[in-house]
Amino acid sequence: MGDVRGGKTALVTGITGQDGSYLAELLLAKGYRVVGVVRRSSTTPYERIAHLVDRIELLSADLLDQTSLVDAMAEVHPDEIYNLAAQSFVATSWNQPVLTGEFTGLGVTRMLEAMRRVVPKARFYQASSSEQFGMVQETPQRESTPFYPRSPYGVAKVYAHWITVNYRESFGLYAVSGILFNHESPRRGLEFVTRKVTDAVARIKLGQANELRLGNLDARRDWGFAGDYVDAMWRMLQQETPGDYVIGTGETWTVRQLCEEAFGYVGLDWRAHVVTDPRFARPAEVELLVADPSKAKRALGWEPTVRFRQLVRMMVDADLARHRMHVPSPA
């Protein structure tokens, strides 16, 4: 099927996730026909894209099922493919290591195979991750920094990264890997630490809770805003030649500083509410992440527009508004 609006067609896996929802907004604003891949479910987990469903198309396929991906490519004939689908929660990857390997690792090979066979001239974006750097071999981390993943998730993403590079080099596909550092938003899943903190701050401020149980407060992350990062994904697919890019802010903050900032913003002392709980510690931790995004700035003209403090405040404000209205979480 061609593009009815005369622009490009994008196929987005993981459209129901945080990044998928922001990317769909960005592509629609640029005049794309947007087709999202959703997996079959007995419920409809479309909260994050509820405001977009009239303007996008949804198609059922699964990263575990090769035929469904080939059929999706044949039906849509995309110009650009954004592979955002994954089991993306690091902690879960120790409980479900095989499933994580299937979705997050081998799923990428299935996508690339489907593309190679059906739409080899399309452009492919792979959602790589700073978790690939794991036990960091240099600081800050850049495109050439060696990988040392520290979780089944990180290991699966390293495989996914290299299979993307390999298909580019083996078959001449336009396939890129965006190595994105942590990016957050009011649409972030509630299990990730930023959203867990901002949601708890809102509930504690409104008298609906009193305690927040966390794991390692010393872990350091380079946190940016998801809306900025989907713009980097799009830019990577508009270049003359395909390449890989690190995307991050270049700043790093501890989980403790995240608590200070979020609680302090609403006039609370985090020490009165945060309890350290070993249940949230990980079998192997990634202690420090901080990006060197200079290649992206130079080659893509990309820079983050939202910094840490603004991001935390945006998320606290959104959670306060939601809890005041007793609206169920979008995550």
Q: Which is nearer to ligand F7E, 126 or 182 (CB)?
A: 182
In single-letter form, the type of residue at position 179 comes to I
Residues at the contact surface with ligand NAP, assessed by CB under 6 A:
13-14, 16-20, 37, 39, 41, 45, 62-64, 84-88, 103, 127, 129, 180, 182-183, 189
Least Cβ distance, residue 110 to ligand F7E (angstroms)? 19
Indicate if 131 belongs to the active site. yes
Strands of the sheet with 245-247, listed across from one edge:
57-60, 33-38, 9-13, 80-83, 123-129, 174-180, 245-247
Supply 36's token pair.
């999202």
Where are any strands of DSSP class E within 168-272?
Answer: 174-180, 183-184, 212-214, 220-221, 224-225, 245-247, 253-254
- Using only the alpha carbons of the chain, give its radius of gyration: 19
Supply 152's token pair.
């089944």
Q: Exactly one of 46, 80, 130, 131 is catalytic; name it.
A: 131
Residue 196 interacting entry, from ligand NAP, ligand F7E, none, C-beta within 5 to 8 Å by type:
ligand F7E
- Closest-by-Cβ residue to ligand NAP is 17
Q: Which is nearer to ligand NAP, 127 or 214 (CB)?
A: 127
Least Cβ distance, residue 87 to ligand NAP (angstroms)? 6
The C-alpha atoms of residue 243 and residue 123 are separated, in whole angstroms, by 12
Indicate if 260 belongs to the active site. no
Residues at the contact surface with ligand F7E, assessed by CB under 6 A:
88, 90-91, 129-131, 181-182, 191-193, 196, 214-216, 219, 221, 255, 280, 282, 285-286
Residue 216 interacting entry, from ligand NAP, ligand F7E, none, C-beta within 5 to 8 Å by type:
ligand F7E
Q: Which is nearer to ligand NAP, 45 or 172 (CB)?
A: 45
DSSP structure string for 262-283: HHHHTT--GGGTEEE-GGG--S
Indicate if 177 belongs to the active site. no
Supply 191's token pair.
């299990």
CB 37 within 8 A of CB 15: yes
Residue 221 interacting entry, from ligand NAP, ligand F7E, none, C-beta within 5 to 8 Å by type:
ligand F7E
Q: Exactly one of 22, 153, 167, 229 is catalytic; name it.
A: 153
> Which DSSP helix (H) or strand (E) runs through 115?
helix 107-118
